[in-house]
Structure 1
Amino acid sequence: MTRRLEKSQSRVQRSALSPPPEFVGDPIVWAAWLYYEERMTQEEVADRLGVSRASVVNFLQEARDRGIVTIAVASEHLQSVRVSRELCKRFGLKSCVVIPDDGGRLPDYERIGRAGGRLLTEILEPSDILGVSWGRTVLALSASLPAVHLPGVSVVQIAGSAIGTAEFSPELCTTNIANRLGARCVNLYAPGIVSRPEVKKLFMQEPTLVEQFKLIRSCSKVLFGVAGVGRASTALRSGYMTPEKIRPYVQGGAVGVMSGRFFDRDGKPVLGPLDEQMIGLTLREIARSPERICIAGGPDKVEAIGGMLAGGYATILVTDETTAQALMTRH
């Protein structure tokens, strides 16, 4: 009885494994075609062939062993990986995400923001305190961030607010990210720049701000963008600063600005009158955070990003391939 059953099953399997003529009678080729070319799942291939899913796994492995299928990573992605590793080595980064160029189909800041959002959801821990700065790329990240449920995370604003366009609003960046994460949101309800140094001193003595800054300075991760100091700079377009206000910094050697703070090509802070009027974390305070994620790119920011990296302000960088190549040439 058992032998008759085995023979019957064998006949059914041979019938199920009769490939169409174009596969020259080879079920291995048939399985490979269905899986790799027609994009069927392994389960769907198993149903079509009339075999178990385990058999399909074996067929696909044999297809690779026999050279029927060859798998290779696209060269443009390998190039991005090489550049990424070189940047990590040169600047002591923990990791670096370099996105391949897309021929100008989408703005750099949108593509970098999306990549940064995917990375952020991968590295956030359930009890993290995430400090968020502002900028066009940070806003793009906040708008495209995949929705996840991290109620134990706190998202805090690390630079004061500005009367500018909604596009560059620090509190909007923080709120968007907190909403996408289902996290606690802590906005910094104070101006980014006040009128006089003595006004800043009064603000910083307020009990509410004293408590908020205790939280802000305890961030386990900080997310920020970088801007240049030219007329097209995000800092100027945001309404956060004016050409007259930043002129002393440029004259002092500043090449970039992050979270409202200026630095030179070696990453050293460049101080000026505004520093006594700014409410938010300083460069040195940002650098104390264990993990610092910079999302920035574009040909107009190469010098600024280079200075930021030279100063060791980032542990993780997300940028585009053209910018990454320019950074390697610059250094």
Structure 2
Amino acid sequence: MTKIEEDLMVRIAWLHYQEGITLSEIADRFGLSRPKVTRLLDKARRSKIVRFLIEAPNAHLLSLEEELKKVFLLEDAVVVPSSEEKDVAYENVGKGGAIYLYRVLRKGDLVGVGWGSTLRYMADNLIPKEEVYDVRFVSLAGGLTVGSFMNPYNIGERLASVYRGECYYIHAPNVVESPELREFYLAERVNRKTFEMAKNARLSFLGIGVVHPQFSTYIKTGFIDTQDMEIIRRMGGVGDIFGQFYDIEGNMLDLEIHRRTIAVSPLELRNMPNVIGLAGGVRKVEAILGAIRGRFIKILITDELTALKLLEVA
């Protein structure tokens, strides 16, 4: 039995036996037939996996997921174990993203992808799915000038190779020198087609940035200096998606850098289905709250301590 099958069985068992969700509702939620759900429950009982996993220390994460969905009106949520080590915490959230992608991905899908450390860990922990192939992945933002580990080009290539598909890129930096240069890149035919694809993705995976001089990717890449970041913070900025900053209520800030940014905007994300935000760490609580309240994301993948803090603040 694979880890994915085990994970699916315990989730179905929890929803049915602990939350009282009907077999039909579970089938709809996971995109399965009702007989398939019944067979999984039978298999869980025969193998005693239900009793073992529901009594396991991490079984409470499933109830946390349900609480997040109820409180924040999310379409779905995944909660993974926390870690005191930053890189391990990011990797755990990335693994959660890989499991979620495996669960929902279909043959021939169109998937939008962002960039960042968490997305890279997701890409590195993907699990091939024999019946799923010919998947198209498309960048949601221009590339970074440094940091190949988390660049959208590398992440997209990894995703496409695992699921035997293609990846389409925005051929431009994420942030350019002037609004005029941004318009030049957006007018390129290949970029216009890529943006159109991105806005029509059935699934979109993205990271959530934080307004902090020590942890912001935009300071590390040189797109913003420490002084500008402090100005954004004083304006009420708490987080960003592809370098587009917002406050804790999900209101976009009026910033000059936005007019130089080449990416799908958070306001456009509102109209796209199945937008999945991957973010962990208590320092990102306000950024996650802003993204949820702004309706920039509809599905959240995070860690246990962050989930608890989100619920406490809410």
Q: TM-score range by the shorter chain?
A: 0.7 to 0.9
Q: Is the 8 A contact 2:53 2:59 kept in 1?
A: no
| SS of equivalent residue, structure 1 residue 255 | strand
Deviations for 1:73-132, whole angstroms, at most 9, x for unmatched residues?
Answer: 225333212221111011111111111335759710001101110110110122321111
Q: Is the 8 A contact 1:112 1:295 kept in 2?
A: yes
Structure 2 residue runs of 5 or longer lacking an equivalent are: 1-41
Q: Is the 8 A contact 1:219 1:289 kept in 2?
A: yes
Q: Specify whether residues 236 and 168 from structure 1 end up closer, same or farther in structure 2 by C-alpha distance, changes over 3 A only.
A: farther
Q: Select the residue among 155, 161, 172 that pairs with 2:154.
A: 172
Q: Which residue in 1 is equivalent to 2:307?
A: 324
Q: Which residue in 2 is equivalent to 1:87?
A: 68
Q: Specify whether residues 105 and 314 from structure 1 end up closer, same or farther in structure 2 by C-alpha distance, changes over 3 A only.
A: closer
Q: Specify whether residues 103 and 136 from structure 1 end up closer, same or farther in structure 2 by C-alpha distance, changes over 3 A only.
A: closer
Q: Select the residue among 279, 292, 298 that pairs with 1:309.
A: 292
* Letter of the 2:258 counterpart: D
> Residues of 1 paired with 2:73 and 2:251: CA distance?
17
Q: Is the 8 A contact 1:96 1:316 kept in 2?
A: yes
| SS of equivalent residue, structure 1 residue 182 | coil
| Cα drift, residue 298 of structure 1 | 0.5
Q: Select the residue among 163, 170, 191 that pairs with 2:173.
A: 191
| Cα drift, residue 273 of structure 1 | 0.4
Deviations for 1:193-223, whole angstroms, at most 9, x for unmatched residues?
Answer: 1111111112212222222222122111110
| Cα drift, residue 253 of structure 1 | 1.1
> Residues of 2 paired with 1:181 and 1:72: CA distance?
29
* Letter of the 1:327 counterpart: L
| SS of equivalent residue, structure 2 residue 137 | strand
| SS of equivalent residue, structure 2 residue 196 | helix
1:28-177 equivalences under 5 Å are 73-74=54-55, 76-101=57-82, 107-149=88-130, 150-177=132-159
> Residues of 2 paired with 1:238 and 1:288: CA distance?
29
Q: Is the 8 A contact 1:165 1:239 kept in 2?
A: no
* Letter of the 1:170 counterpart: P
After TM superposition, the score normalised by the length of structure 1 is: 0.74
| Cα drift, residue 234 of structure 1 | 3.0
Q: Which residue in 2 is equivalent to 1:23?
A: none
Q: Select the residue among 247, 266, 289 that pairs with 1:264.
A: 247
> Residues of 1 paired with 2:90 and 2:53: CA distance?
29
> Residues of 1 paired with 2:145 and 2:86: CA distance?
32
| SS of equivalent residue, structure 1 residue 222 | strand
* Letter of the 2:141 counterpart: A
* Letter of the 2:54 counterpart: V
After TM superposition, the score normalised by the length of structure 2 is: 0.78
Larger radius of gyration: 1
> Residues of 2 paired with 1:262 and 1:79: CA distance?
33
Deviations for 1:131-176, whole angstroms, at most 9, x for unmatched residues?
Answer: 1111110111111111235433210011101211112312112221
> Residues of 2 paired with 1:110 and 1:82: CA distance?
22
Q: Which residue in 1 is equivalent to 2:264?
A: 281
* Letter of the 1:78 counterpart: A
Q: Which residue in 2 is equivalent to 1:40?
A: none
Q: Is the 8 A contact 2:134 2:163 kept in 1?
A: no
| SS of equivalent residue, structure 2 residue 311 | helix
Q: Specify whether residues 145 and 238 from structure 1 end up closer, same or farther in structure 2 by C-alpha distance, changes over 3 A only.
A: farther
Structure 1 residue runs of 5 or longer lacking an equivalent are: 1-56, 65-69
Q: Specify whether residues 71 and 153 from structure 1 end up closer, same or farther in structure 2 by C-alpha distance, changes over 3 A only.
A: closer
Q: How many residues align?
A: 267
Q: Is the 8 A contact 2:69 2:76 kept in 1?
A: yes
* Letter of the 1:193 counterpart: V
Q: Which residue in 2 is equivalent to 1:293?
A: 276
| SS of equivalent residue, structure 1 residue 294 | strand
| SS of equivalent residue, structure 1 residue 109 | helix
Q: Which residue in 1 is equivalent to 2:30?
A: none
* Letter of the 2:293 counterpart: A
Q: Is the 8 A contact 1:249 1:271 kept in 2?
A: no
Q: Which residue in 2 is equivalent to 1:215?
A: 197
> Residues of 1 paired with 2:193 and 2:80: CA distance?
39
Identity %: 26
